[in-house]
Structure 1
Amino acid sequence: MAYDEGLAQMMRDDLEGIDGINEKKMFGGLCFLYRGHMVCGVHKGGGMFRPGKEREAEALAIAGAAPLSFTGRKMGGMIETTEEALADDAKRAKWIELSLTNAKNLPPKT
């Protein structure tokens, strides 16, 4: 397994009951999508969130966050977190809130 299943379950629990959420294996981990748009996910070594460019600075201001750069190049509007930061309920809740706001402002994918 390339990611921590316990952290994935925390995200599942956080997103439970939100219509339009589904899971998809991608980026070598597990992502949670809202109407086809990535909200968050887990990968080996931590988590990832898509708060969008408008909320990226706010998401990065939370301790344990950094710009997402799987390929060595920053992916705008996306952040990654350490496992320790991801396990923090308050931090994870804020990152999810920012990322859900982003996804809800995008047109549903068909």
Structure 2
Amino acid sequence: MSYDEQLAQRIRESLAELPDVAEKTMFKGLTFMVNDKMCISVRNDDIMCRLNPDLQEEVLSRNGTSEMIHNGRSMKGFIYVNKTVLKTKADLDYWINLSLEYNTVAKSAKKKK
């Protein structure tokens, strides 16, 4: 598991006021679950944001972003943002807020039995 601990700490601080946040090791990094739903992850030098799939094309036009590819296919609603474009709190908060906004309507993953 490899992730930028300073970036993870910045996310922790941004989510600190929320009532239902948990951290899990997933996707070879650290994932922040909000309301029992995956919200944002840190992996290597990137954050992975879960956001409204309708915004995918728009956000991928921004610097430092790339689509998430899993098993050879693009995962709609999941994007990577490189830490090089997350220099300020406002830069990071933009992505966290997009992820939190979608979290309110996102479906929870099915619980494993």
- TM-score class, shorter-chain normalisation, is 0.7 to 0.9
Cα RMSD (Å): 2.0
Q: Does residue 89 in structure 1 map to residue 89 in structure 2?
A: yes
Report if aligned partners of 1:49, 1:96 keep a CA contact under 8 Å in 2: yes
- Report how far residue 22 of structure 1 moved: 1.1
Q: Paired residue for 1:80?
A: 80
The Cα of 1:87 is off from its aligned counterpart by 3.8
- State which structure, 1 or 2, has the greater radius of gyration over its C-alpha atoms: 2
Unaligned runs of 5+ in 2: none
Asked if structure 2 preserves the Cα contact closer than 8 Å seen for 1:59 and 1:95, the reply is no
Q: 2:23: which partner in 1?
A: 23
User: Taking structure 1 as reference, are residues 99 and 86 closer, same or farther at Cα in structure 2, changes over 3 Å only?
Assistant: same
Query: Shift in Å at residue 32 of structure 1?
Result: 0.6
The one-letter code of the counterpart of 2:104 is: K
Q: Secondary structure at the match of 2:74?
A: coil
| Identical amino acids, percent of aligned pairs | 32
Partners of 1:28 and 1:43 within 8 A in 2: yes
Q: Counterparts of 2:42 and 2:16 in 1: how far apart (Å)?
A: 16
Tell me the TM-score normalized by structure 1: 0.85
- TM-score, normalising length: structure 2: 0.83
